[in-house]
Amino acid sequence: MPSISYSANERAAEATELSQKLALPINNTDDVQLCALEDKWALKLNGMQPIWVDFNISHWRKGKYSCKNEALVKACKAKEGVNILDLTAGFGRDAAILLGTGASVSLVERDKIMQILLQDGLARADLKLKAKIRLINSEAKEVLTKLNKANLPEVIYLDPMHPIRKKSAQVKKVMFALQTFIKPDDNYTDLLTLARRCARERVVVKCPVTQPPVCIPNHSIGGKTIRFDVYLADGGNGNADGNVIGIELR
Ligand SMILES: C[S@@+](CC[C@H](N)C(=O)[O-])C[C@H]1O[C@@H](n2cnc3c(N)ncnc32)[C@H](O)[C@@H]1O
């Protein structure tokens, strides 16, 4: 697990409080740190630039990310008025791209460190974006089994932790950072099955092109390194228990 650290002295007290809350040590020299910078929390890894959550789309729209962004938006058919449930929030980068289309995104995250980074990113998001974001600190399956059946999302998005084979490219550094303390999701077939029952329209799974899909998708939208597998909804009737009262996404 990361240590808690601070690079700005005025945040020492806050860092200490968080270290007590999470029962993690304060260590400003550890290889992996959840670090209080001057104005934000960030994940710091030895020899890497700090990484933080930024829901501001302009950051992710540029350069080498643009092709991947286009494929993600196409696969999710994201646009104003569409509700997307992102079951694997991470640094919220994919969610930021989806939010950039005007869609509303509910983000589910089970890891405590990532939850803090996401909460911090939300606090820095502008008001218009804030209204479209909902953070849910939970295990994905639990959320799916408690969704309000009357208010199911059109799209459910999954970007599980795939094992990394090479860690050379910049885009993979983020994944490398996560894998220092988050285990890969070896089997998410059950989660996908449940998600297909809960989505009104589709479930989209992000996958490295080097890996086969967990089950055969209806179609895929591919790039050079990443593929988006699209699974059409299986009835869109909600979870097995058919909750009428449950978690509201908006
Ligand atoms: C590959 S990362 C997602 C990266 C994210 N798409 C982004 O753009 O930053 C996977 C994240 O999902 C979380 N996660 C994986 N399985 C989960 C589950 N079953 N329930 C909730 N969160 C999960 C992990 O803790 C990790 O933060």
All structural domains of the chain: 3-45 (no CATH), 57-232 (3.40.50.150)
Ligand 1 neighbour 161 (Cβ under 6 A):
yes
Q: Tell me which amino acid residue 129 is.
A: L
Q: Tell me, what's the pLDDT at 238?
A: 63
Query: Which region, left, alpha or beta, applies to residue 90 given φ > 0 means left and ψ of -120 to 50 means alpha?
Result: left
Helix (H) or strand (E) segment spanning residue 3: strand 3-6
Q: Tell me, what's the pLDDT at 59?
A: 56
Terminus-to-terminus CA distance in the chain, angstroms? 33
From 1, 43, 69, 88, the mutation candidate for ligand 1 (largest count of ligand atoms within 8 A of CB) is 88
Q: Tell me, what's the pLDDT at 107?
A: 98
Q: Tell me, what's the pLDDT at 166?
A: 58
Q: Tell me which amino acid residue 130 is.
A: K
Span from the CA of 30 to the centroid of ligand 1 (angstroms): 23
pLDDT in tens, 80-112: 999 999 999 999 999 999 999 999 999 999 999
Vertex 35 angle, CA 24 and 44, to 5°: 105
Ligand 1 neighbour 41 (Cβ under 6 A):
no
Q: Which residues of the chain have pLDDT under 50?
A: 170, 240, 244
Q: Tell me, what's the pLDDT at 93?
A: 93
Q: Tell me, what's the pLDDT at 250?
A: 62
Query: Which region, left, alpha or beta, applies to residue 181 given φ > 0 means left and ψ of -120 to 50 means alpha?
Result: alpha
Span from the CA of 214 to the centroid of ligand 1 (angstroms): 17
DSSP secondary structure of 91-160: TSHHHHHHHTTT-EEEEEE--HHHHHHHHHHHHHS-HHHHTTEEEEES-HHHHHHHB-GGG--SEEEE--
From 56, 161, 206, 211, the mutation candidate for ligand 1 (largest count of ligand atoms within 8 A of CB) is 161
